[in-house]
Amino acid sequence: MSSVTADVDHGLAGRGALPTLFKSQERARIIEAFVTNKSRELNVSDIARLSDTSRSTVYEQLERLTEMGIVEEVDHGASTFYTLNEDDELGEMLYKLQGLTLHRLYEIDDDVEL
């Protein structure tokens, strides 16, 4: 086992990758804000509004999501925006997962409330 794999395994012991990714409802809502606005550049206020999350929580979560490569920072001089990293495999899979999940929920019950 490589040292990178050993470090990852040790860091996720007892939790797993998906519970770590979706660590909190806030992080899940922030990820959803990005996948439902896939090609848009969002500022922190946009993300907070779309995810019904405080700006301070958004800042905390953006640090982790950018470290993971799911979200990328787009610098526009004095303003910073963020977008789903469409070149990242995990970002693309999250986008597909959201669409597939919605499709399945509608198949099961077309009155489903999301």
pLDDT of residue 103: 73
pLDDT of residue 4: 42
For residue 2, name the pLDDT band (cuts at 50, 70, 90). Answer: very low
pLDDT of residue 46: 97
DSSP H helices, the chain, are 3-11, 17-21, 25-36, 44-51, 55-68, 89-108
Residue found by looking up tokens 């946009």 in the block: 46
Report whether pLDDT(39) > 90: no
Structure tokens at 110: 């077309």
pTM, 2 dp: 0.74
